[in-house]
Amino acid sequence: MPEDLRSLEAYQEGTDLYRLHFLEKTGSTNDVALSLAREGHPHGTVVIADAQERGRGRHGRRWFSPPGVNIYMSILLRPGTITFHPALVTLAAAAATVEAVNSRLLRRHPLPAAAAWSKWPNDIYCRDRKLGGILTEASTSGRTISSMVTGIGVNVNLEARNIPADFRHDTTSLHIETGEVIPRDEVIIKILDNFRKYYALLFEDPTALITLWCKISRTVGSYVKAVTPGGIVYGKALGIDGRGFLRLGKDNGEEITLGTAEIILLRNDA
């Protein structure tokens, strides 16, 4: 176990929910968690890797996953019958992650400009650069979900000079933002503790979770370009509906709802 993940051993002893599996290197922690799901591992199983060889993001994009510096973690969930839309799990994980990293970022730079924020549906940003992301994968049949995996990637101690040229212009890390070397275990434990709370909230009051996510997001209120499977649309992000979908007010006055899209924030009119 790397030095800056050591306190996960004590965390494991004290938690009744999570079962942590640590791997030095793997293809993708999401794949490992999905395969543990097929083997019958329980709700709360967590796979953490020091490096990924085939880390992936949304739309099959590569997720840069060098050893020893970042967080690559996947949580196996067995929600059973749900009353909320499964897309909300991504928002719960994003809120948990933003809140965890902000407790670090804002300790050093207590200004709102230094805070991390979430861009719908799954991105974690700091300033205008990507700090992390969430990739939730599930096989659902109706309202019953026997297993789903939410994967969380956060750039922690990644140094600017080690970011591949094609990512450099829009990638950051907690180290780049704070100038500090940050123990990964501290951030992981905060994410897991927050996620436990927010996941529970999905069952109790999904609207409260959406409200909470809107507070840490800079999407709602912005004028955006949305790249959707059906083409590009421009409009104002009006809010998030009960399914976690984005409500967009188009220039012609029409309101549409997007289940998936790539959002580019153009202006904040809020």
| Residues within the interface to ligand BTN (CB under 6 A) | 28-30, 52, 55-58, 61, 63, 72-74, 122-123, 133-135, 151-153
- CB of 88 closer than 8 Å to CB of 206: yes
| Residue whose CB is nearest to ligand BTN in the complex, by number | 133
Q: How far is the CB of 124 from ligand BTN (least distance, A)?
A: 8
Residue with Cβ nearer ligand BTN (105 or 134): 134
Q: How far is the CB of 255 from ligand BTN (least distance, A)?
A: 27
Number of C-beta neighbours around residue 89 at 10 A: 27
- Looking at residue 179, its amino acid is G
Q: How far is the CB of 52 from ligand BTN (least distance, A)?
A: 6
SS3 160: helix
Q: How far is the CB of 154 from ligand BTN (least distance, A)?
A: 8
Residue with Cβ nearer ligand BTN (33 or 182): 33
DSSP 219-268: -TTEEEEEEETTEEEEEEEEEE-TTSPEEEEETTS-EEEESS-EEEEEEE
Residue with Cβ nearer ligand BTN (36 or 73): 73
- Looking at residue 217, its amino acid is S
Q: How far is the CB of 47 from ligand BTN (least distance, A)?
A: 8
Residue with Cβ nearer ligand BTN (58 or 78): 58
75 to 4, 78, 90: CA distances (angstroms): 20, 10, 11
